[in-house]
């Protein structure tokens, strides 16, 4: 399973890439694999302020629906509009084309895991 080392992770299976005071956020390969083929992605509005831990949207698949939580605090400055027409992009490429939102950080992120720690979470849930 892919767990890119350059990203940060949450226990609720979101990934975060920090770039120049902004964070790109999506769900992990493990999360999309557990959900199955995504049929719908709901994301916040551009301009919305989110705090770390806030619900930022949801994903639906043929198997289940699940909330997605924002791992960082800040203003939503972009959403991946390609997911409206083709939510399966998240299944095909969760760490690149399947990104969900971009947030301008209002504070330094806290409580995020590196790839090694996230691997332990996945291993525990897989057993």
Q: Does 125 have pLDDT greater than 80?
A: yes
pLDDT of residue 85 exceeding 80, the answer is yes
Residue 28 lies in a domain: yes
* Total domains, the chain: 1
Q: Given a cut of 80, is residue 100 above it in pLDDT?
A: yes
pLDDT for res 32: 95
**Per-residue pLDDT at 127 exceeds 90:** no
Q: What is the distance of C-alpha 71 from the center of its chain? A: 8
Q: Is there a domain that residue 18 lies in?
A: yes
Q: Exposed, middle or buried, 75 (CB in 10 Å: 0-12/13-18/19+)?
A: middle
Q: Which domain holds residue 87?
A: 9-120
Mean pLDDT of the chain: 96
pLDDT tops 80 at residue 107: yes
Q: Mean pLDDT over residues 108-126, rounded?
A: 94
CA distance 43 to 70: 11
Average pLDDT over residues 6-32: 96
78 assigned to some structural domain: yes
Q: Is residue 125 part of a domain?
A: no
Q: How confident is the model at residue 97 (pLDDT cuts 50, 70, 90)?
A: very high
CATH number at residue 46: 2.40.50.100
């Amino acid at each position: 399973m892919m767990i890119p080392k350059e990203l940060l992770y949450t226990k609720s299976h979101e990934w975060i890439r920090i770039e120049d005071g902004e964070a790109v956020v999506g769900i992990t390969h493990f999360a999309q694999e557990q959900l199955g083929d995504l049929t719908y992605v709901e994301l916040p509005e551009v301009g919305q302020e989110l705090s770390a831990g806030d619900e930022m949207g949801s994903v639906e698949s043929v198997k289940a629906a699940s909330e997605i939580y924002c791992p960082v605090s800040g203003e939503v400055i972009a959403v991946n509009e390609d997911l409206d027409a083709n939510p399966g992009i998240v299944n095909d490429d969760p760490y690149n084309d399947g990104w969900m939102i971009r947030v301008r950080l209002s504070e330094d992120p806290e409580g995020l895991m590196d790839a090694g720690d996230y691997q332990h979470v996945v291993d525990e849930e897989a057993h």
